């Protein structure tokens, strides 16, 4: 995986359904209808390459990090700022609540190791059962 496919905010673009290697024509058609866009407008190659999210066309977090000349939000003096605040809204569908955790992992273990871990982290978030004191556990962990 290319390191450009990890967003400055910590989202692992390469594991996203909109990422160009993951998109299926059926998914793009369904999402394009819902978003009022064409399927080709929704294919994403990562915010660093495209300059933002294909759904919105922009990203204030990306603009901020570029203005500061940083690679990741954890390098900023204001980390974590309000842009990284988790929200309950759409938490079951979007990986945005993982951003701060991902950034902390990148800082702790480096980008290469994080890239190896990213799919498993996302899998635990979306498919794990929360066990207090253990975090999200997959059936094989229990």
Q: Per-residue DSSP letters for 66-77?
A: HHHT-SSGGGST
Per the structure, the count of domains in the chain is 1
Residue 32 forms part of a structural domain: yes
Whose CA is closest to 84, among 69, 103, 70, 67?
Answer: 103
Q: Global pTM? A: 0.86
77-101 pLDDT per residue, tens: 999 999 999 999 989 888 889 999 9
Which residue stretches of the chain are H helix?
A: 25-35, 39-42, 47-50, 60-68, 99-109, 111-127
CA distance to 22, 59, 110, per residue, from 116 (Å): 17, 26, 10
Q: What is the reported pLDDT for 61?
A: 95
Q: What would the mean pLDDT of 29-52 be, rounded to a whole number?
A: 90
Residue 139 forms part of a structural domain: no
Residue 127 forms part of a structural domain: yes
Residue 140 forms part of a structural domain: no
Q: What is the reported pLDDT for 3?
A: 74
Mean pLDDT (the chain, rounded): 91
Residue 138 forms part of a structural domain: no
Residue 63 forms part of a structural domain: yes
Whose CA is closest to 6, among 49, 54, 40?
Answer: 49
Residue 123 forms part of a structural domain: yes
Residue 68 forms part of a structural domain: yes
The residue segments making up the domain with residue 72 are 3-131
């Amino acid at each position: 995986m290319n390191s450009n496919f990890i967003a400055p905010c910590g989202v692992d673009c390469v594991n996203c359904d909109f990422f160009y290697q993951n998109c299926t024509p059926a998914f793009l058609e369904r999402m394009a209808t819902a978003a009022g866009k064409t399927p080709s407008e929704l294919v994403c190659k990562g915010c660093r390459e495209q300059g933002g999210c294909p759904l919105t066309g922009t990203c204030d977090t990306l603009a901020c990090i570029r203005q500061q000349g940083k690679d990741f939000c954890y390098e900023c003096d204001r980390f974590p700022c309000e842009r990284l605040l988790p929200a309950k809204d759409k938490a079951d569908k979007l990986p945005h609540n993982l951003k701060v955790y991902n950034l902390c992992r990148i800082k702790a273990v480096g980008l290469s190791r994080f890239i190896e871990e990213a799919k498993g982290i996302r899998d635990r978030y979306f498919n794990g059962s929360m066990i207090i004191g253990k975090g999200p556990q997959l059936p094989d962990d229990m």
